[in-house]
Amino acid sequence: MAVMPAFEQIIRMEVVYRVPGMEDVTVERDRVYISPGGEALRMDVYRPARGTEGARPLVLMIHGGPIPKLGAKNMAVFTSWGRLLAASGLAAATFDHRFLAPERMTDAADDVAAALAHVREHADALGIDRDRVAVWAFSGGGPLLSLALKGAPPFVRAVVAYYAALDVREKPPGASPAITDDLRRDFSPPTTCVPKAGARRPSSSREQASTTRS
């Protein structure tokens, strides 16, 4: 019978897949992107190796939750994904947000919006293309994709839900009363995605798990 590794072990597990150059990418660590209430929230920005010119499309990675404390951006899964994306010619940003408890979901949504605004505002300094952004959410971070899906901003070119919760309208047993029905509706991307005229709606959970726009 398989035994789930301890959390302390899980956070040290890197992505197994490797590409050449992952150890040569440049990383700007602990860049403060917002300080709500005086609490600095930080991001790490990964770029291809020095000497690689040109603004790069950016992948903004949204970690899941709720988690007990800040620091998810330092988990090995995110540091290795950041390096893998940068070694593949893209830029990547990992960041901490305040989904520390169910009732902090709206705080986390504000942080995602702030992180997105920050990388676009400072695109030239970061060496990224402000008009080519992908938003990638993991696990419990799925509802935070609603920010990118609601208005379908033209600079968001791809949305990825990686083993992510999306439709949270159904309240599970023991759910926190802090997550109201209105919040569940607002943070359920499938209810906010309006397909173009004649477009086919996703017909399976697999199709709903990843939405890509060009």
Residue-wise pLDDT tens digits, 145-191: 987 877 779 999 999 999 988 888 888 777 888 788 888 888 886 54
82 in Cβ contact with 26 (< 8 Å): no
Question: How many CA atoms are closer than 13 Å to the CA of 173, on its beta-carbon side?
Answer: 0
The token pair at 174 is 């023991």
What does the mean pLDDT of the chain come to?
A: 86
Quick one: pLDDT at residue 189?
Answer: 63
Cβ 179 vs Cβ 103: under 8 Å: yes
State yes or no: pLDDT of 12 exceeds 60. yes
CA neighbor of 134 nearest in space, from 151, 114, 150, 149: 149
Measured distance CA(127)–CA(178) in Å, rounded: 40
Mean pLDDT of 88-95: 97
Question: Amino acid letter at 60?
Answer: L
- Classified as helix, coil or strand, 31 is strand
d(CA 112, CA 101): 16
Contact 210, 161 (CB under 8 A): yes
pLDDT over 90 at 195, yes or no: no
Query: 72 near 51, Cβ under 8 Å?
Result: no
DSSP symbols for 155-208: TEEEEEEES------SPPTT--TTS-HHHHHHT-HHHH--PPTTPPPP-SHHHH
Which residue type sits at 174? G
Strands (E), the chain: 26-34, 41-47, 56-62, 91-95, 128-138, 156-162, 210-212
Residue 66 · residue 139 · CB < 8 Å = no
> What Å distances lie between residue 5 and 15, 53, 73, CA to CA?
16, 41, 20
Q: Is the pLDDT reported for residue 78 higher than 60?
A: yes
Tokens of 41: 């929230």
Provide mean pLDDT across the span 1-14. 81
CB atoms within 10 A of CB 21: 16
Domains present along the chain, CATH in parentheses: 13-197+204-212 (3.40.50.1820)
pTM over the 0.85 mark: no
